Every structure is written in C-alpha cells, then in structure tokens.
Structure 1
Amino acid sequence: MYKRTYHCVIAAALAFAAACDQGEPADAADDEVALRPYACPTWKCGFNSAEVNGRSIRELNLDGAANGDGVRIVGFLAPAGLLGNYRLEVEHDALVARNPSGQTLRGAQLIGATILVQGPGLLSLPVPITVLGYQEIDSWAEGAPKVPTYALLYPDLAALLGLRNVCSGNLLDTLASAATVIGGETYDLDDKTVNPGRSRWLTIACAGSAAAKMRLLGYGPQSSATTPAQRQATLKMVTADYCGGGESYTQNGTEVHWANAEGTVAPETFAELGELEAVWTEDGALCLGSPRIAGTLVDCGLPSCAGLSLDEGEWVTYAAEP
C-alpha cells in the first residue's frame, strides 16, 4: 500500500506526492512566473534555519565541539526535579537523555529539559534552549512510524514574552514552530549534499526545511535503512537541484507530485499529474522533462526523460497539471 500524501512544501520535487515548494528563484523565460496559490501547512512551507541570537544551531556536536558558527553544547539539564547527571543523545533520529544509572528520558519526558549552548568568544554567556513542547506527527511514508518533533525556545528580551523559538522567531504557535532531529549526519546547504558518518553530530531540522522533509519522507539516517546516496537524491529532488551543483530551481508555492522507488510515497488519488519533470539520483536530475516552474532555464545540458522511469532513479517527479 502507498501512503497517500498532499504536500505544500518549501523546495519541492520529491516523488509522486503533491507539494508546494520554496527555494532560490528559478531562471525563467519571462520576468513573471504565474504560480497557483496554495495554503501551505506547517511542515510543508517552513521556517528559517535553527538559530540562537543570529548564530546557527542547525548542526550541534553532542561532545561539545563547535559548529561552523562557533556554537557548541556546554551542558544539559533534565526537567525540574529530576537529578542524575543526564547526558543528551540522539537515537533513531530522536532526542533522548540518559544518566549513568541507565534511566532514560524520551518524548514528552523531555519537556522542560534545557540544552545549554555557547557562542564563540570569552565573553559569550551560555544560552539555555528549553524543550517547551513535544509532538509526534505522521510520516509521509507508508508504514513509517510517527516522527518526533520538538518546540525549542531560548530567552530574548527583545522578543515577544522574552522568548524566541529557534525556528520561527515567535511564540504565536509554538508547535507550528517545531523541529525534528536527525542523528549522525549533517547537510551542506550550498551543495545540497549529505555529510554522513558524523556519529556525534545532530541536525536540528526546522519545519519546512529540506532536511525535515527528507525525514518526513522516511529517509532519516538512524530511523530507516536508506543509504547516504538515497538521502542525497532526496535533498536534490526536494530542492529542485537539477544540475546537481547546489543551485535550486524552485519557488515557494510551486506544486509538484512525487514517488519513490521503494513505493512508500505516491501521489494522492485525486492528483492531476502533468508531464514528467525529472528522474532523480544522488547527482541531481538524470533527465529533465517539464520543469516544475514553467519557462525555467537550467545551466546544464540534461537529456529528455523519454524512455526513462523510476526504475533508473530514487525518485520521479511530475509537474502539476496546468
């Protein structure tokens, strides 16, 4: 059985399910490209990359090594009233905390827990990031378990109520401002590539980001049997990186339909499929038919998709019926 999905997503182009994209502007034959409007749900059109005080916490090291912005984890505090020297870990693409006695906190048990991070410089003070909410949402893949998500907030005197969400920057809807977690892997946003084998690193993937969509599509490195090549193909597809060099050819609000080789993701039964857009591999589009944004001109020579199918790639995408 396929899991039927309808997505309005940021940076579209994954499989046979329908989605709405957001990405870098595409080169188009005309200055104006008409896009049909869609109301994008929380996890389909997303928020900014996870940040604290303007510094990225999208990638964090569990052992305290600094990320590319110089931010590192300097401590972890269990929810109030719980003692026992808990340490933060990531298992099956979910946060857990474990103490030397073997006691483990996971899921809603982590509400109230605090991750202390610190930026570069001797005068930088630790900033507490609190797990304010927890929710499990449906995966977009047939047969996959629910996906854990976390509302993460930190103090900011200039923000509403003195708190700011690491993803959305406001408190108007804390659950909508949630993130999922990916363990043992990071992602190059410029090249749209996977950095596997980073066992003590975690990625905080805000709702609507390409990494969060990859996780929801059932391609988490710890929570699935997928390979780095399959996950990279997914990132290329989500971001419409046709040429494979990192340039995204999609815009927010662009509808696309997708399906994967495993058969766990397929279009809605009511979906109106247009022409085949592309067959996707870890190197980008194997071929290019009808781009998801009409009139798009790409900076590489790609063959026609005539005679090709999902058998040749990890994903296949179709433009929406005009």
Structure 2
Amino acid sequence: MTSTRAQPRSLFAPAAFVLAVLPACAGGYDSYGEVSSAITCDVSQCGSNAAELNSLPIGELHLFPGQNTGEVSDWGARVVGFSAPLAAPGGPAGYTMSVVRGRLRATKGSTVLMGAALVGSRISVEDASIDPPLQADLIIHDHDTQMSWTTGAYPAYPIDRYVFITLDHRPVCVDAADTSANNAWAVLLSGERYSWSDKAVIDAGPAAAGWFNIACEDNALYEMKFQGYDPEPALLSLPHTTANERQAALKMITADYCGTGYSFTETGTSLHWLNDALWSDNGAPPASSFEAKWGPTGALCLDNPRLATLAEIASECDLPPPCSEYAGAFEWQTENPM
C-alpha cells in the first residue's frame, strides 16, 4: 500500500487547445479517498482536512529572475510568457511577472501591479511533455484577500487569493463542495518545492528559488498557508516556520499517519487542529474525540483516526502509540468534532 508518484499527464486538450487543469489528478495519488465529504461542523469551530497536497498538473511552476519564462516542472509545465491587463499603464506588453513572498506582481520600469490591478493578466504556460509543445493561457479572473486562520501571537492577517480561468472560461480550480461553481480560489506559495506523492517538502530556501505553487482551495497547500505555515510569509512580522514544521502540517492535514504519503481521509472531513505554539487554532468544537499528535514523519501518537480504522492504518505501517503513552515534542494536535 506504499505510495507511488503519479505519472506526469498532459496539461492540454489538443483538440480544443485549452488547459486540461480540472482536478482530474485525484486518482493519481494513493490515498484513502478523495471524494469530497460533507462538512458537518461549522468552519469557525473545526474546519476540514484535505486528501491531496495539490490537485493541479500545473500546480508547480518556475520563473527565472527578470524573465517571463522558467524551468520545466516535473509535470512538463513551463511558463513561456506574460501580459498585463489591457488597461495597465503603458499597455499590456513589457511587464515582467514575478512571485514575491507568495504574491503575484508585474513590473515595468517603476510601475508595479499587484492584487486587483492584475485582474485580466495572462500567464502563458506550455506543456513541454508533448512534441510539439502546446501552449495556453491562464487568465487572472478575480482577486481578493481572505484572513488567515491564525490567532494569539499572530492575529489574523490578509492573504491574497486569485481565480484563474482559461480562454474558454473554464475554471482552473473547482470547488470540491460545488463542482458547478466557476470561482474556486487559489493561493500562491513560493520558495519551496514538494513531493505531492510523499506529501513532503523536498527543497526549501535557495534550492527552491524561482519555484512557486498555485494551490487550489480544498488542497493541503492552500490550508497550510492559511494556518500561518507559509514558506515565504508576505511580511517579516508574520509567522516564520521551518521546513520540518511545514511538513508536519502537510502530514496532519492529509491524515498521513504513517509518513509514507498515503492519505487516510477524504477532502472535506471535519477536523480541529491546534499547533504547539497555540497561534494556529481553528476553534474548539462543542464535542470531540482526540485524534493524534503530529510531527514531520506523520502521527507521533494516535487515538481515534478521523475516518479510517486502526486496522486499515496498521496495514500500511506499525501503529503509533496511544497518545496517553507519548510525552515527547510535537508540532500539531488534532481532534475529531462530534
């Protein structure tokens, strides 16, 4: 039952020449389940988890400094161009795109576009896994800010979100709870690379320079950013976490108890989490059962799995000890709302 990496798949539909970026990767990763389940607890009291790190084949992209192009990702995707909105100062041409601390910006001389000023911009992406390569555009259709899920020492702060669509108005991200919606949001995470199959950080800091992820709502990277575990926080005053701490967040969100990359959950399953520093807490449910404590290798102790059975988890790895027998350090603890 060990996890295997999904094979890179085509990003484009050749007949229509449009991006095939709907979350069709769900079956590509080993996991307990990836069909959205109803959230039975108010989000202010428990929130929910995710079965996948990122559901987009184009999720990871790269930019060379000062250029509108970059390296080819493991999925065969490469940025090959950028144009600003038609109403941009001086016209849409001549702007250079960059992702700085998880925020998209476009620069031409002394002019810098960010946030809502980028709505209407086009990011041209090429599928280099096909010969000859195919190209299509991601259009920034909308922008807003949403408050983080942090508290205490780090009061909630705004995070930039974007809606991306294709030229034929297909959404890049789809709301798992409402697949007919055309406005599912995404966030950007920069300065870190991930193994989506292992649900692990593989490069951080200088080794990941130029790389960024487009993470859809309902995916673990999206949730990790809102929990305050952003690899490159927008401001120096915001939480700064280590790669191991962020990996612990990914293991916790995806119910990767064994640390093998196997998710024993379904996207949308209710969950209450609290980090050891007490500044990332999504509220206390009225009643709950204790689930686990978490570190970068998965569950450090385990009482009541959120969805799977102990027997199912034992088929993947040796079970962690009960939490009554664990007195060591941890990054997160989780509860199952009842």
Q: For residues 147 and 190 of structure 1, do their structure 2 counterparts lie closer, same or farther at Cα, with a shift above 3 Å needed?
A: same
What is the rounded CA distance, in whole Å, between the counterparts of 1:77 and 1:118 in structure 2? 15
2:194 alignment partner AA: Y
Distance 1:269 1:59 in 2: 34
Matches within 5 A, 1:1-322: 24-25=31-32, 38=40, 49=54, 51=56, 56-63=57-64, 64-82=70-88, 83=90, 85-99=94-108, 101-120=109-128, 121=130, 123-142=132-151, 143-155=155-167, 162-168=168-174, 172-175=180-183, 177-195=184-202, 196-197=204-205, 198-223=208-233, 224-274=239-289, 276-293=290-307, 295-297=309-311, 298=313, 299-301=316-318, 302-308=320-326, 312-321=329-338
1 CA distance for matches of 2:169 and 2:38?
A: 36
CA contact under 8 A between 1:50 and 1:166: conserved in structure 2?
Answer: no
Taking only the aligned residue pairs, the percentage that are identical comes to 32
After superposition, the CA RMSD in angstroms is 2.7
Q: Is the 8 A contact 2:302 2:323 kept in 1?
A: yes
Per the alignment, residue 31 of structure 1 pairs with: none
Aligned residues: 276
Asked whether the 8 Å contact 1:165–1:174 carries over to 2, the reply is yes
Q: Tell me by how many angstroms 1:85 deviates.
A: 1.9
Take 1:233 and 1:141, find their aligned partners in 2: how far apart are those partners? 17
- Cα shift at 1:77: 0.5
- Matches of 1:291 and 1:252 in 2, distance apart? 15
Distance 1:288 1:222, change over 3 A: same
Q: Which amino acid aligns with 1:66?
A: V
Amino acid at match of 2:71: A
Q: Give the gaps of 5 or more residues in structure 1.
A: 1-22, 27-34, 156-161
Q: Is the 8 A contact 1:150 1:179 kept in 2?
A: yes
Q: The residue matched to 2:166 in structure 1 has which SS? A: strand
Residues 181-222 of structure 1, C-alpha deviation per residue, up to 9 Å, x if partnerless?
001112211101013231101100001101000001111111
In the alignment, structure 2 segments of 5+ residues that lack a partner are 1-29, 65-69, 234-238
Give, in angstroms, the shift of residue 165 of structure 1: 1.3
Larger RCO of the pair (alpha carbons < 8 Å, separation 6+): 1
Corresponding letter in the other structure for 1:60: L
TM-score (norm 2): 0.74
Alpha-carbon spacing, 1:200–1:130, altered in 2? closer, same or farther (3 Å): same
In structure 1, what residue type is equivalent to 2:85?
P
